Amino acid sequence: MSRLIRSSFVAIAVVLAAAVPGTAHAGSQEDAGSRPPAPDCVTFSAGWRYTFVTNNCSDTHTLTVVYRDGTDVPSRVAPPGALITFPGYGTSGNEVLGVVLCDDGGCA
């Protein structure tokens, strides 16, 4: 019986996590720092565990995510139509400020 309860709890947790993906943003990234912001055709959805970045542009871009606490994450190449994953904002009050371009070699 406890196995059934545990399995049900895990299934409900997975459904709830999928139902609340975070807030989608498109282009409004004024706090993203000094690096050039990604174009408006690049969107992101930030959650506590993952940040999903979608390249809806017709060009390939090298992108990274900017966090309020300065967390540095490696850049990723996003061809047209790609969905790439970065770390989320976590449980300690951090925040995803936006997505920036790394095409000029300014990112790690």
SS (H, E, C) 5-16: HHHHHHHHHHHH
Q: What is the 3-state secondary structure (H, E, C) of 51-97?
A: EEEEECCCCCEEEEEEECCCCCCCCEEECCCCEEEEECCCCCCCCEE
Q: What is the pLDDT of residues 11-53, one digit of tens each?
A: 454 444 444 444 444 334 545 567 899 999 999 999 999 999 9
The predicted model scores a pTM of: 0.68
- Extents of the domains making up the chain: 22-101
- 2.60.40.20, 3.40.50.300, 3.40.50.1260, 2.160.10.10: which CATH number matches 22-101? 2.60.40.20
